[in-house]
Amino acid sequence: MIKALTIKKMAQLPYTEKLGDLKTLSMFYDPADDQVILNSDHENYEIYNMLAASYLTADCDKRERFKAKIQSRFPEEIDLLEKVIQIRLKKELNNPERIKNQYKKEFKMIGNQTAFWEHLDLIDAIEAVEKNSIFALTYAFNWGYIQGIKAERAKRKKVSL
């Protein structure tokens, strides 16, 4: 999202003293509102508005071509817009709703497993040893993988008998 503010309105924002001279500032990013703020009093406001709108809505290939043509003229602005895109991508990748929808089938399969309840003591032990650690997830995954291997071996052994 892009928002245009006058110098007077930008000066009222709590963090603008860190931005330097607002008269020469073309744009900045407000992470709290996830907005690119444009200085509507800047002499090149229209150019910056088109630049930001075009760049932020373009796909990756189009951005690369765009960047190759204009980065030498607008290096700080392109760097800022690239950082905004990276921040937004990271937020989207970590969005719990997106993850739930993307892995809906897998979560349903996991939810139907009874092994979890049968081995709750092991899961509690893993959590006690590795509190809030990625290793707890790794141990649980490895344990599940080993259980799957054991089940497959038992199935093959039963068929061969």
Q: What is the pLDDT of residues 109-153, one digit of tens each?
A: 777 666 666 777 777 788 787 777 788 888 888 888 888 898 899
* 19 secondary structure, DSSP code: G
* 2 secondary structure, DSSP code: E
Residue 55 and residue 81 in contact, taking contact as beta carbons nearer than 8 Å: yes
The mean pLDDT of the chain is 83
* 43 secondary structure, DSSP code: T
Helix (H) or strand (E) holding 28: strand 27-30
Q: What is the pLDDT of residue 134?
A: 80
For residue 75, being part of any structural domain is answered with yes
Structural domain boundaries enclosing 26: 2-93
Confidence of residue 42 (pLDDT cuts 50, 70, 90): confident
Same domain, 23 and 85: yes
- Number of domains composing the chain: 2
Q: Supply the DSSP string of 70-137, one letter for each residue.
A: HTTTSHHHHHHHHHHHHHHHHHHHT-HHHHHHHTHHHHHHHHT-SHHHHTHHHHHHHHHHSTT-HHHH
Which of the listed residues 59, 93, 127 is the one where a domain comes to its end?
93
For residue 34, being part of any structural domain is answered with yes
Which of the listed residues 45, 60, 93 is the one where a domain comes to its end?
93
How many whole angstroms separate alpha carbon 13 and alpha carbon 17? 9
Q: Mean pLDDT, to the nearest integer, of 100-113?
A: 76
Q: Is the pLDDT of residue 46 over 80?
A: yes
Q: What is the pLDDT of residue 51?
A: 92
For residue 100, being part of any structural domain is answered with no
Side by side, which strands form the sheet with 2-5?
2-5, 35-39, 27-30
Greatest distance between any 2 Cα atoms in the chain: 84
Confidence of residue 83 (pLDDT cuts 50, 70, 90): very high
pTM of the predicted structure, to 2 decimals: 0.59
